Amino acid sequence: QESKMGELPLDINIQEPRWDQSTFLGRARHFFTVTDPRNLLLSGAQLEASRNIVQNYRAGVVTPGLTEDQLWRAKYVYDSAFHPDTGEKVVLIGRMSAQVPMNMTITGCMLTFYRKTPTVVFWQWVNQSFNAIVNYSNRSGDAPITVGQLGTAYVSATTGAVATALGLKSLTKHLPPLVGRFVPFAAVAAANCINIPLMRQRELQVGIPVTNEEGQRLGHSVAAAKQGIFQVVISRICMAIPAMAIPPVIMDSLEKKDFLKRRPWLGAPLQVGLVGFCLVFATPLCCALFPQRSSIHVSRLEPELRAQIHEQNPSIKVVYYNKGL
């Protein structure tokens, strides 16, 4: 039912991503759009304009002359800069679109300055500080995390990362130099295993909401929270693999050549560039590994919740939950 002058219909669901999220390809397109670093260059006025388009559309007012593509573009710009639950503007470096440029700078430096203890400590600390900002900016709204818990997670992850990096650094002293280049990766992986569960410890205590296929809440489950957090840890570690495994191999062979021996200052920018190239692809593709709305078999839920669901809707075999990012 077209309204006057071919205006946009009001039934486009812009709460959901534009592409089918049950397929890997649809999720990948969605995350390529979400993590697009070009969104960082938008001015405050452009962000406001997108926010107005989206809020008006949700209120049933179509901005005159708006096309469907423009509506989706506004939605993704809006989502890139504003928190979904609170509606506040997210600090620039905490946004999904800042992931690639920030990570590429930090990872590039971690991989370049892996030989001396002070620089190892410094860059692992910078990385965990950045993680803390991102986790704080993107924390889910219905399980608010306290500043104390954030602090604990931050200190523990930093300690874990630095301890892993320095421990492995001393262990690999006698091994071929290429092995030493993989130490920062191990440290980042270890920190993710500490950081994410601690950041989301509330979910591990109280559980996360599980719903039926229609999205009606059936209760809270810690088992679902564990599975969701495990999936996030895996995809975060996978995200780091290409960026932290490919450049060291390339750099190791390049540094043996005269070209870089004569220009040692080129090492860091080259490393950052290589890492950036890997991250532009790895970040969205690894976010897309698991559906945002994951499912868990009722048989794997806690006994009480399983009994409760079985009593109310015996036909339900699978429940759904939002795994977070």
The predicted-structure confidence for 135-154, as pLDDT tens digits, reads as follows 777 766 555 677 788 888 88
Domain edge (last residue) among 39, 57, 89 = 89
Q: Domain residues for 177?
A: 96-322
Q: Regarding predicted confidence, which is higher, 119 or 260? A: 119
Give yes or no: residues 68 and 101 share one domain.
Answer: no
Q: The tokens of 304 are what?
A: 């009480």
Give yes or no: residues 39 and 163 share one domain.
Answer: no
Give yes or no: residues 59 and 202 share one domain.
Answer: no
Give yes or no: residues 82 and 126 share one domain.
Answer: no
At residue 209, φ and ψ (nearest 5 deg) are -65, 135
293-297 and 318-322 strand pairing: antiparallel
CB 148 within 8 A of CB 154: no
Tell me if residue 219 falls in helix, strand or coil. strand
The pLDDT tens digits of the residues spanning 92-101 come to: 998 988 988 9
- In-domain check, residue 176: yes
- In-domain check, residue 19: no
Instruction: Give me the number of domains the chain comprises.
Output: 2
- In-domain check, residue 17: no
Domain edge (last residue) among 64, 89, 114 = 89
Q: The tokens of 131 are what?
A: 């993680």
Give yes or no: residues 39 and 118 share one domain.
Answer: no
Mean pLDDT value across residues 262-276: 84
CB 180 within 8 A of CB 120: no
The residues with which 293 forms a beta bridge, in sequence order, are 322
Give yes or no: residues 275 and 225 share one domain.
Answer: yes
Rounded to an integer, what distance in angstroms lies between the CA atom of residue 59 and that of residue 203?
Answer: 32
Q: The tokens of 35 are what?
A: 């993590």
Rounded to an integer, what distance in angstroms lies between the CA atom of residue 131 and that of residue 114?
Answer: 20
Mean pLDDT value across residues 47-72: 90
CB 82 within 8 A of CB 42: no
* Residue 325 binned pLDDT confidence (cut-offs 50, 70, 90): low
* Residue 131 binned pLDDT confidence (cut-offs 50, 70, 90): confident
CB 319 within 8 A of CB 269: no
**Tokens 């506004």 correspond to what residue?**
74
Residue by residue, DSSP assigns 163-177 as HHHHHHHHHGGGS-H
Give yes or no: residues 103 and 69 share one domain.
Answer: no
User: pLDDT at position 3, please?
Assistant: 46
* Residue 77 binned pLDDT confidence (cut-offs 50, 70, 90): very high
What is each CA distance from 260 to 65, 99, 182, 253, in whole angstroms?
55, 29, 20, 10
**Tokens 């290409």 correspond to what residue?**
242
- Other Cβ atoms closer than 10 A to 218: 20
The pLDDT tens digits of the residues spanning 205-259 come to: 888 888 888 878 888 899 999 999 999 888 888 888 888 888 888 888 887 888 7
CB 323 within 8 A of CB 231: yes
Give yes or no: residues 73 and 107 share one domain.
Answer: no
- Other Cβ atoms closer than 10 A to 228: 21
- In-domain check, residue 141: yes
CB 49 within 8 A of CB 78: no
Mean pLDDT value across residues 19-30: 91
Give yes or no: residues 67 and 142 share one domain.
Answer: no
- Cβ within 8 Å of residue 52, ≥6 positions away: 63
At residue 65, φ and ψ (nearest 5 deg) are 75, 10
- In-domain check, residue 201: yes
* Residue 58 binned pLDDT confidence (cut-offs 50, 70, 90): confident
